[in-house]
Structure 1
Amino acid sequence: MIMAADTFAEKLKGTGVTVNSVHPGLVKTPIFTTNYTVKRNVFFQMFVWLSQCVLGRDPWEGSQVVVHAAVSRKFEGMTGEFLGECVPCRKPSKAYNEELCKDIWKASEFYVGLPR
């Protein structure tokens, strides 16, 4: 998602449309507990459950991070950023791989039927 957002940010520069990626933090949802890889490993299941109990936010709190990024004047004009805890953060290293980003964009165009 970060790579797609960065590509959109680049393609939409100068249009008045801004695109950023937002990490809401650890949110107490079943996204991990329904994951096949997690289900196969009881220790990982326990780790995820404990992490969510101790550090996790409820879904409403997690959504507020995203809403804040969308409506706050603090981010007006900011584009192509990765926000965590409502501040710009360093992106995961693979997000800086331009060739990988281009390949993902081309595959996305193909799968959704966009003209090239």
Structure 2
Amino acid sequence: MCAPTDEIVASTGNQDVLVRKLDLASLSSVREFSKHILESELRLDVLINNAGVAGIDKIMTEDNLVLGMQANHFAPFLLTNLLAGLLRDSAPSRIVNVSSLLHKYCKLDLENLNCEKSFNKTDVYSVSKLNNILMTSELSRRLKGTGVTANSLHPGVIKTEIMRQMPALMLAVTNFFMGIFAKDAVEGAQTTIYLAVSEEVEGLTGKYFADCKEVTPSAAARDEGLAKKLWEKSEELVKLKPQEMQL
């Protein structure tokens, strides 16, 4: 077993734990991961898109996508598409997308989705979190009547390593305030867990939550037309193949 597996088994007592490697900076890794899941698993009850990065410079991946946007939006978008068939076959099932309150402080320009015109590391994170909510909204419409629900959330300000790529001085200041005001990882996971397993949200879809309560996201995040256009642009940029289109 690897270290994450050992830690989970030790804390839960559950021996039935399997860890699979997935590199969100590589769409080929996403496709390979999905292939293994589809070949080895009979069911998929919950898909949680949680991993992400923040505060990093403009780094282009092997897929010619900006790393921050790929890890936070394009890769989860592709992963969800590839696993949608198994989720439908396993219904009732759930998709949970971890967004952020910062989605409110940006504007989505579809012509600059991959930073073709300009780049700002703060904007990349905020826009990617807006994209998470828009993707969830479009998912809920495309999966209507299938028994698969899709919801997004703001987990709160959490002391994690997501900002580890920031300059040292800025990171030190951030960590100081995080230590005073931020939630720890267990506290920060509660809304994600709630949406993944709670009977209270059974059948509820297309909603946005914070602190285990439904809240209203920004006006842009509620724009159905924008969500549809983002979906189509994302299909283009991840080069979604006809046989991969399950939504």
Look up the match of 2:210.
84
Matches within 5 A, 1:28-107: 28-35=159-166, 39=167, 42=170, 46=173, 48-107=174-233
Cα distance, 1:108 vs. partner? 1.7
- Taking structure 1 as the reference length, the TM-score comes to 0.80
How far did 1:51 drift? 3.5
Q: Decide whether the 8 Å contact of 2:190 with 2:211 is kept in 1.
A: no
For 1:100 and 1:45, the matched residues in 2 are separated by 37
Across the aligned residues of Structure 1 and Structure 2, the Cα RMSD in angstroms comes to 2.2
Deviations 1:1-60 (A, max 9, x none): 01101110111011111100021111101223424xxx3984x862x3343112211222
How many residue pairs are counted as aligned between the two chains? Answer: 111
Larger Rg: 2
Instruction: For residue 73 of structure 1, report the CA deviation from its aligned partner.
Output: 0.6
Q: TM-score, normalised by structure 2?
A: 0.41
Shift of 1:112: 4.4
1:78–1:109: structure 2 CA closer, same or farther, 3 Å change rule? same
Q: Where do 5+ consecutive residues of structure 1 fail to align? A: none
Q: Percent identity?
A: 32
Structure 1 pair 55/19, CA: closer, same or farther in 2 (3 Å)? same
Taking CA–CA contacts closer than 8 Å with sequence separation of 6 or more, which of the two structures ends up with the larger relative contact order?
1
